[in-house]
């Protein structure tokens, strides 16, 4: 896949944020490997790059599925701008013609997701260590 000059510039700007995300989530991957896996969409608020979304897309017939696999905001913006960034994300998905959305949200984000959008996902996808799912006596 050829990368345009604009995409290369955006990748340079996003690389420190992606590196921070990979370190925070303890993902052993390089930035280059990570961006091959997902479409990286910048989160800009008031003209400032503050984070990114990691999304994969699939089309099958009339269904255009977007799978949100990563969301990263710089620490200083996490409390104030998450709602606005999420609203921008969903509007962007609508503009692209996405018909279905699958969210791989971290378990710490689940309550916010339920409050913000008044729904519980039919499939709750998350990540974590196996011991977190151990049945307690």
Tokens of 111: 């309550």
Is residue 77 one of the residues assigned to a domain? yes
Nearest to 32 by CA among 43, 40, 24, 42: 40
Is residue 5 one of the residues assigned to a domain? no
Is residue 91 one of the residues assigned to a domain? yes
Is residue 34 one of the residues assigned to a domain? no
Is residue 26 one of the residues assigned to a domain? no
How many structural domains is the chain composed of? Answer: 1
CA distance 47 to 132: 39
49 contacts 14 by C-beta, under 8 angstroms:
yes
Q: What is the pLDDT of residues 13-46, one digit of tens each?
A: 999 999 999 888 888 888 888 888 888 999 998 8
> Mean pLDDT throughout 58-87?
87
CA distance 136 to 76: 36
CATH of the domain at 53: 3.40.630.30
Is residue 51 one of the residues assigned to a domain? yes
Residue partners of 127: CB distance under 8 A and separation at least 6: 104, 106
- Min mean pLDDT across 12-16, 99-103, 107-111 is at 107-111
More confident residue, 77 or 114: 77
| Domain region containing 99 | 39-129
C-alpha dihedral, 33 to 53 to 76 to 27, nearest 10°: -30
C-alpha dihedral, 44 to 49 to 55 to 57, nearest 10°: 60
Is residue 2 one of the residues assigned to a domain? no
- Predicted confidence band at 107 (pLDDT cuts at 50, 70, 90)? low
Is residue 14 one of the residues assigned to a domain? no
- pTM confidence score: 0.75
């Amino acid at each position: 896949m050829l990368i345009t000059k604009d995409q290369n510039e955006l990748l340079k700007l996003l690389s420190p944020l992606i590196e921070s995300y990979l370190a925070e989530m303890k993902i052993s991957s390089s930035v280059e490997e990570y961006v091959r896996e997902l479409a990286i969409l910048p989160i800009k608020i008031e003209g400032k790059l503050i984070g990114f979304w990691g999304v994969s897309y699939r089309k099958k017939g009339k269904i255009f599925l977007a799978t949100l696999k990563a969301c990263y905001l710089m620490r200083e913006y996490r409390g104030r701008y998450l709602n606005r960034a999420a609203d921008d994300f969903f509007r962007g998905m609508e503009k692209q013609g996405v018909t279905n959305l699958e969210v791989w949200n971290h378990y710490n984000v689940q309550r916010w997701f339920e409050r913000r959008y008044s729904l519980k996902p039919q499939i709750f996808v998350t990540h974590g260590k196996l011991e977190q799912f151990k049945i307690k006596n």
